[in-house]
Amino acid sequence: MDNVDVTEKSEIPKYRWVILAVSCLGTFSGFLAMNSFASIAPFLIEGGVWSVADLGLWSGITTVFCTLFLMPSGILADKYGRKIITGFGLIIWVIASIIFPISPVLKLLSRALMGIGYAMLWVAPSALLVSWFSRKPSEIPAAIGTLVGFWMLGGAVTMVLPVYLFFLGGGLAGGEFYTFMIMGVIVLVIAIVFWVFGKEKPTSSIGG
């Protein structure tokens, strides 16, 4: 069953903390998936594999697609469920991470998919927390603040982990492929954890 039953209307579900934890895990993986290319870029540019123009193009594509899909993501999250849209965003990231190192054309597609996934992950977990914390609205800002904080923790980890993986995978000879595959696997594990523990609403039906 997708929801947690709350018999008393006034009851504040303790499961909200689990929802906060899995939502934070989801957003944490956001920067890992999206910005890994930036931290290994200096080595690949120096090796003549990528150019500075490539980086600008990839960042731009992601930002534009993210901007375009933010509003539709919000509407879809309200209509079909915030858990579904968050999970969908995570799966998009897994696919985008895996296809990124394969070919130049797939790199562009990957960055566009990253933008769409980013839009979903930016909007849906915030709305999910609002549903879970709405019985104690005073906690909503703290929950959303924590969620935003995990984006940034992901950002800090992104400055270290991809570089380590890049050299572990052989540097210029295969390091790029290895890094993005591992990132894809990490996000996949997080997506599974989110899907297992994430619940739509603290009521017996989605409509509440």
Partner 1 sequence: MTSFKELTVSEAVLKNPGVYVTGIALFCNFIMVFITFIYVPSFLAMYSGLPPEQVSILSFIFYLMGFPSSIAVGIIHAKLKLGSPLAAIGLLLNAVGTIAMLYVKDFTSLLICIICIGWSNLWPSSSCLSIAGTIVPPKFAGTSVGVVSCLGFVGGCVGSFVGGMYMIARYGFPAGWWLICITSLIGLCFAILDIRFERRALAKASTA
Cα–Cα distance measured from residue 115 to residue 145, given in angstroms and rounded to the nearest whole number? 22
Residue closer to partner 1, measured from CB, 134 or 177: 134
Residue closer to partner 1, measured from CB, 3 or 59: 59
Q: Is the dihedral of CA 139, 143, 144, 146 positive or negative?
A: positive
Count helices and strands (H / E) in the chain.
7, 0
Q: Which of 130, 119, 137 is nearest to 63 (CA)?
A: 119
Cα–Cα distance measured from residue 63 to residue 43, given in angstroms and rounded to the nearest whole number? 24
Residue closer to partner 1, measured from CB, 54 or 78: 78
46 phi and psi angles, rounded to 5 deg: -60, -35
**In whole angstroms, how close is the CB of 95 to partner 1 at the nearest point?**
22
**In whole angstroms, how close is the CB of 151 to partner 1 at the nearest point?**
7
**In whole angstroms, how close is the CB of 203 to partner 1 at the nearest point?**
12
Residue closer to partner 1, measured from CB, 135 or 181: 135
Q: Which of residues 51-110 bind partner 1 (CB under 8 A)?
A: 56, 59-60, 63-64, 66-67, 70-78, 82, 85
**In whole angstroms, how close is the CB of 34 to partner 1 at the nearest point?**
12
Q: Which residues contact 35 (CB under 8 A, 6 or more apart)?
A: 155, 158
205 phi and psi angles, rounded to 5 deg: -140, 155
Residue closer to partner 1, measured from CB, 1 or 53: 53
Inter-helix orientation angle 161-168/140-158, to 10°:
30
Query: Tokens 């800090």 map to which residue?
Result: 156
Q: How many residues at the interface with partner 1, by CB under 8 A?
A: 51
Residue closer to partner 1, measured from CB, 28 or 98: 28
**In whole angstroms, how close is the CB of 200 to partner 1 at the nearest point?**
12
Q: What is the DSSP letter of 139?
A: G
Q: Which of residues 100-159 bind partner 1 (CB under 8 A)?
A: 119, 122-124, 126-127, 129-131, 134, 137-153, 155-156, 158-159
Q: Rule CB under 8 A: which residues touch partner 1?
A: 56, 59-60, 63-64, 66-67, 70-78, 82, 85, 119, 122-124, 126-127, 129-131, 134, 137-153, 155-156, 158-160, 208
